[in-house]
Structure 1
Amino acid sequence: MDDITRPVPTLDPGLEHKVRVWDAPTRLFHWSIVLLVAFSYASARTGRIDWHFLSGYAILALVLFRIAWGIVGSDTARFAHFVRTPRAALRHLARFGRGRGDPHAGHNPAGALMVLALIGLLLAQAVSGLFSSDGLIVEGPLARFMDGATSAAATAWHAFLFDLILVAVGLHVAAVLAYALVARRNLVRPMIVGWARLPASVPAPRMASPLLAAALLAASGAVVCALASLG
């Protein structure tokens, strides 16, 4: 009897399925950072320095957590999963400019570079705050380990880095709006609910344990508490 060759089923590129793209720890980190950066700015402008320091400690703990989660967390949170070369980011932007942006389960190559920039800026901002001092009353917990000139430089960088953070946030918001207008993709809703509708050809990413996230957050908080106690 002759063998019957069966056709290989293919996925209809027009089909979509509901995919969980963001885990709860990543979403909580994202929105907590949004609130804390705004609170840090408001507390500094109104002279509530004690609250400003507490907010800065919280930001540092969250950033340390995010770095660790970017190594061992869910697929879409892992740097190895979404970080690509600048050339890949430029190719993505070129396709996006022609209205052909490729859907991704997580960060696209261009968005990945923005994520790295924001994490780096937040880390540098928080660390510079640990060494900052106004020379009179207010000083970070590690300022006493530096001479006055170095601490003054850290204070100046602390202010300058916040301006860079504002620029980066503005670019991030503009990119989200552009993606909604050009690619017809809502990037905000998945970061709230965790789910997105993607082409059937895009596989669902693996999600890591929330218990692991809790342990990493506790460890990050312990590190920051130890630093704060040195003041």
Structure 2
Amino acid sequence: MSETPTPVWDGPTRVFHWALVLLLVVAWVTAGEQMAIHRGAGYAILGLLAFRIWWGLAGGSTARFRNFVRGPGAIRRYLSATRNGTEGEHAGHNPLGGLSVLGLLGLVGLQVVLGLFAIDEDGFEGGPLSDRIDFDLAQQFAEWHELSFRLLQGLVVLHLAAILYYAVRRRQDLVRPMITGARRFYGPVQGLVRAPIWRLVVGVLIALAVGFAASRGFRLG
């Protein structure tokens, strides 16, 4: 194993990861009782997702979608190599991990979008876009909003189970690198190539703009 840790995750990716975890917990514990906080968490999550999409296109090398999103063939080959113990090491997400990332981002995005249109059965608490659709449909959105969260919980459990599997069976700590940004490898691995700071500034502005627009119901003026 290398003596010097190799950089694998840049700061923006790590901040996004832990901020999303925190905001999902906040949204969970405030649902139904503290709706102002719940909605605020949802707007912040939507801004984070907008940032992650931008960062997946213009961010550091390990955060870019093109570097970890793979097709079914690549995933099958990775699973086969895993069974044979010949899968090698990855500085970022492996093909199966990339699939998990897309699933989590997609479900979180669906959860937030459904919440924008959802309204409670009494019509007192609703998302900023609930008044743009029929009341019964808005209530249906609320049911889908809850269902999608159950699905998200299931995917999070699978995600945590995979982390535990790699820690116990493969002796690979996947949590520490998401905190420190670096990891030790057994062989030479191409580490993180950082993005210029202006791209981070653009991403932050996009996140703020999307979160603010959502809080205003995407209304002008």
Q: Do they fold alike, i.e. is TM over 0.5? A: yes
Matched, 1:110 2:96: yes
Distance 2:35 2:137 in 1: 21
Root-mean-square deviation (CA, aligned residues, Å) is 1.7
Larger radius of gyration: 1
* One-letter identity of the residue aligned with 2:126: E
Q: Deviations over 1:151-199 (max 9, x none)?
A: 1221111101100110110000100111112221111000000001124
- Pairing partner for 2:111 from 111, 122, 125: 125
Distance 1:144 1:182 in 2: 51
Matched, 1:35 2:22: yes
Which runs of structure 2 are paired with 1:147-158 in the superposition (5 Å)?
147-158=134-145
SS at 1:102 equivalent? coil
Q: Deviations over 1:95-124 (max 9, x none)?
A: 334444421010000000000000000111
What residue is the counterpart of 2:133 in the other structure? Answer: 146
What residue is the counterpart of 1:73 in the other structure? Answer: 59
* One-letter identity of the residue aligned with 2:125: V
Compute the displacement of 1:200 (Å).
3.7
SS at 2:70 equivalent? coil
Q: Deviations over 1:45-93 (max 9, x none)?
A: 5x01110000111111001110110011111000001111123223323
- Pairing partner for 2:5 from 18, 27, 41: 18
**Residues matched between the structures, number:** 217
What residue is the counterpart of 1:3 in the other structure? Answer: none
2:118–2:139 Cα contact (<8 Å) kept: yes
What TM-score, normalized by structure 1, do the two folds share? 0.88
2:46–2:210 Cα contact (<8 Å) kept: no
CA 1:36 to 1:54, structure 2 compared with 1: closer, same or farther past 3 Å?
A: same
SS at 1:68 equivalent? helix
Q: Runs (4+) of structure 1 moved beyond 6 Å?
A: none
Q: Which runs of 5+ in 2 are unaligned?
A: none
Matched, 1:174 2:150: no
Compute the displacement of 1:16 (Å).
6.4
Distance 2:175 2:93 in 1: 12
SS at 1:198 equivalent? coil
Compute the displacement of 1:38 (Å).
0.9
Identity %: 41
